[in-house]
Amino acid sequence: VFQNVPQAPADVIFSLTAGYKADTHPQKINVGVGAFRTDELKPYVLPVVKKADAILFNDASLDHEYQPIAGQPSYTKAASKLILGKDSAAIQQGRVGAVQTISGTGANHTGAAFLAHHCKGSGKCYISNPTWANHRNIFEGVGFQVEEYAYWDPVTKGLDYKGMLDAIQQAPKGSVFILHACAHNPTGVDPTQDQWKGIAEAMRARDHFPFFDCAYQGFASGDLDRDAWSVRYFVDLGFELFVAQSFAKNFGLYGERAGNLTFVCKTPEDTKRVLSQMEKLQRSEISNPPAYGSRIVDIVLNDDALYAEWKENLKYMSHRIIDMRKALYQHLLDLKTPGTWNHIVDQIGMFSFTGLKAPQVKVLIEKYHIYLTNNGRISMAGLSSSNVEYFAKAVDDVVRN
Ligand code: PMP
């Protein structure tokens, strides 16, 4: 039965982490995986999550029953409000629905599977070049023809805005466009607000469907509202759209798989029917979503004091990342490393797209025990005040040689 099953390639990020773990070098660094670390390079359990955990632990009314198919309404509603804004007109008009998903990956998948069944449009789905590797997997997996739109300009180390607009204009009408709401992975380059306006106009002219992927709300700028600007702008223009939300990074709930798919429709009637189909789909795939992580998020988002504390925890995380950007940039300047490095401080979110090439990455891994992906992406949270100088010196060496 199985003799003709081909070997699938290993996942790049998970294999890098395995290589890092097996490495015994004292100065090894893992800047591959996108997970927050403290300055001591330890995983960070948010203090507000610890408080919510204690509340859950002491709540005698809780049991281990199944959740509703779409998740608890208090959770999905709070998640939608978080991304669309507390005064969202679309929410007030009853045009917003949501299902709890298996983190951001599940939100992407549920949205993709729904579109493939019910609203395939041109049958083409456009992802940025480059993007999070799972986008292609997920959308090809449900039967979309996946194409790329230009995004990263290696010369300016910024957004290829014209290339992106050209792709939007040339794509067949009614295509799905995956847009990173903020903190683009892997480049750390986001469109400016003016560029988002141009993107929205071009999308509307071609009747494309915006599918926002939002895995870093609060991480990009430390400001939850600012990081949701692009999504809210599209909703204000009257777009129907999906937003995949992940609470892995902004709550530090990586393993709990707490996510949400928010959908904005034209009418409350459409929303009701869409929700019914989402539930049917969900039932066949996971039956109903896991309770633990979403209960933590639910508690925090629905309590004013805990919500305020969460925002402080988010500021700590985003500021540590910004501090590491500044430190790395300064070391490269001090070393007079050839090339321009201002993109390191200009890019935002968890990652920096350094511009290092695959042969340079190979040397970083083999000679310096620094683990990063071939495309030169680094997770800023893997750097700390104790290793950033070693990292900068290693980069300086591979750039010169
Ligand atoms: N989308 C993007 C762009 C991401 O970077 C990530 C996290 N790596 C995700 C979605 C979802 O991750 P998770 O399933 O862990 O929430």
The string of DSSP codes covering 164-214 is: HHHHHHHSPSS-EEEEESSS-TTT-----HHHHHHHHHHHHHTTPEEEEEE
Residue 90 lies in a domain: yes
Instruction: Say whether both 149 and 82 belong to one domain.
Output: yes
Instruction: Say whether both 106 and 34 belong to one domain.
Output: no
Cβ of 101 below 6 Å from ligand 1? no
- Residue 355 belongs to domain spanning: 12-44+318-400
pLDDT of residue 14: 87
Are 172 and 124 a contacting pair, CB within 8 Å?
A: yes
Instruction: Say whether both 232 and 264 belong to one domain.
Output: yes
pLDDT of residue 63: 95
Q: Could you say which of 302, 331, 360 is where a domain stops?
A: 302
- The CATH number covering residue 147 comes to 3.40.640.10
Instruction: Say whether both 253 and 395 belong to one domain.
Output: no
50: tokens are 């610890």
**Which of 127, 213, 380 best tests ligand 1's pocket when mutated (most atoms within 8 Å of CB)?**
213
pLDDT of residue 176: 98
pLDDT of residue 289: 98
* Residue 42: pLDDT band with limits 50, 70, 90: very high
Residue 131 lies in a domain: yes
Q: Determine which residue's CA is closest to atom 16 belonging to ligand 1.
A: 104
* pLDDT above 90 (res 268): yes
159: left (phi over 0), alpha (psi -120 to 50) or beta: beta
Q: Could you say which of 302, 334, 368 is where a domain stops?
A: 302
| Predicted ipTM beyond 0.85 | yes
Instruction: Say whether both 31 and 137 belong to one domain.
Output: no
pLDDT of residue 369: 97
Instruction: Say whether both 216 and 131 belong to one domain.
Output: yes
Residue 158 lies in a domain: yes
Q: Is 124 in the active site?
A: no
At 326, give phi and psi (nearest 5°). -65, -45
Cβ of 213 below 6 Å from ligand 1? yes
Cβ of 132 below 6 Å from ligand 1? yes
Residue 137 lies in a domain: yes
Residue 152 lies in a domain: yes
Residue 96 lies in a domain: yes
Could you give the percent of the chain with pLDDT greater than 90? 97
Cβ of 375 below 6 Å from ligand 1? no
For the chain, give the mean pLDDT.
97
Digit-coded pLDDT (tens) for 335-369? 999 999 999 999 999 999 999 999 999 999 999 99
Max Cα–Cα distance, the chain, nearest Å: 64
Instruction: Say whether both 336 and 376 belong to one domain.
Output: yes
Residues in the chain: 401
Digit-coded pLDDT (tens) for 3-16? 999 999 888 888 89
Digit-coded pLDDT (tens) for 227-242? 999 999 999 999 999 9
Strand boundaries in 21-173, DSSP class E: 29-30, 96-102, 124-129, 145-150, 152-153, 158-159
Instruction: Say whether both 34 and 153 belong to one domain.
Output: no
Round to whole Å and give the CA distance between 179 and 176: 10
pLDDT of residue 215: 97
Q: Is 249 in the active site?
A: yes
Digit-coded pLDDT (tens) for 100-143? 999 999 999 999 999 999 999 999 999 999 999 999 999 999 99
Indicate the number of domains in the chain. Answer: 2
Q: Determine which residue's CA is closest to atom 11 belonging to ligand 1.
A: 104
Tell me, in angstroms, the distance from the centre of ligand 1 to residue 337's CA: 32
Q: Which atom of ligand 1 lies at the shortest distance from residue 213's CA?
A: 1
Could you give the percent of the chain with pLDDT greater than 70? 100
- The CATH number covering residue 342 comes to 3.90.1150.10
pLDDT of residue 113: 98
pLDDT of residue 220: 83
Cβ of 111 below 6 Å from ligand 1? no
Q: Determine which residue's CA is closest to atom 5 belonging to ligand 1.
A: 185
Q: Is 11 in the active site?
A: no
Instruction: Say whether both 28 and 143 belong to one domain.
Output: no
pLDDT of residue 355: 92
Residue 390 lies in a domain: yes
Q: Could you say which of 302, 329, 355 is where a domain stops?
A: 302
First CA to last CA distance, the chain: 51
Q: Determine which residue's CA is closest to atom 4 belonging to ligand 1.
A: 215
Are 167 and 159 a contacting pair, CB within 8 Å?
A: no
pLDDT of residue 385: 97
Strand boundaries in 350-393, DSSP class E: 351-353, 370-371, 377-379
Q: How far is CA 227 from the centre of its chain?
A: 12
Instruction: Say whether both 28 and 88 belong to one domain.
Output: no
DSSP code of 257? T
Residue 310 lies in a domain: no
pLDDT of residue 13: 86
User: Which of these is catalytic: 249, 298, 310, 341?
Assistant: 249
Q: Determine which residue's CA is closest to atom 2 belonging to ligand 1.
A: 215
Peptide bond into 186 cis (omega under 30): yes
Are 179 and 210 a contacting pair, CB within 8 Å?
A: yes
Instruction: Say whether both 33 and 90 belong to one domain.
Output: no
Instruction: Say whether both 279 and 386 belong to one domain.
Output: no
Tell me, in angstroms, the distance from the centre of ligand 1 to residue 175's CA: 22
* pLDDT above 90 (res 219): no
